[in-house]
Amino acid sequence: MTFLDFLWVVWLAVFVIALIIEASTSELVSIWFALGALFAVVISVIPGAGWWISLIVFAVISVATLLCLRPLANRLLKRNTVRTNIDEIIHKKGKMVKGYDEYNHGEVKINGVIWTAINTEEKKPLPEGTSVEVLAVDGNKLVVKEIVG
């Protein structure tokens, strides 16, 4: 028995290792090499096929799938940005429960939760009871503006 008789085991090991690496990441990293190794396993069990043929098949299939299928896979797997709970607050309307002035942060109640609030117009006070809209989140503060009308 020679090394060539067990070459398929080597390619099978490369296939399994590539799959393990792929499973441990969230991106398409090594699936291309797993496919190349799978084809190399098939080639290596053909009697009379030299080790260099399976190596060439591995390289060609890996590079071809990487170049051809990766852009398609990225397009198909492209995830839409999932808004977090804090992002859901943007554009919500609420009432000031503690007034805002240029020296003190105010507080606004949104969805039953009281948040520290700052005004987009820093020098303009927002008295308690003022209706506001959330424009952005800055750290743990909500950036609000007065709703006129």
For residue 114, give its domain range: 87-146
What is the model's pTM?
0.51
Q: How many domains does the chain have?
A: 2
CB 111 within 8 A of CB 85: no
Half-sphere exposure of 116 (CA within 13 A, CB side): 6
Where does a domain end: 44, 77, 110? 77
Tokens of 93: 């309307």
Domain identity same for 122 and 141 = yes
> Hey, which residues does 45 pair with through a beta bridge?
none
Identify whether 48 is part of a domain: yes
Contact 22, 29 (CB under 8 A): yes
Find out whether 37 and 14 touch, Cβ atoms under 8 Å.
Answer: yes
pLDDT digits (tens, 9 = 90+) for 21-60: 999 987 788 899 999 999 999 999 888 888 899 999 999 9
Cβ–Cβ under 8 Å, residues 115 and 142? yes
pLDDT class of 105 with cuts at 50, 70, 90 = confident
Establish if 82 belongs to a structural domain: no
**Mean pLDDT across 87-101:** 88
Q: Is the pLDDT of residue 80 over 70?
A: no
| pLDDT interval class at 4 (50, 70, 90) | low
CB 143 within 8 A of CB 137: yes
Q: pLDDT of 117-147, one tens digit each?
A: 988 887 888 889 989 999 988 888 889 998 8
35 shares its domain with 17:
yes
Q: What is the CATH number of the domain that holds 108?
A: 2.40.50.140
| pLDDT band at 82; cut points 50, 70, 90 | low
> For residue 16, what is the DSSP state?
H
Q: What is the CA radius of gyration of the chain?
A: 30
Flag whether 29 is in a domain.
Answer: yes
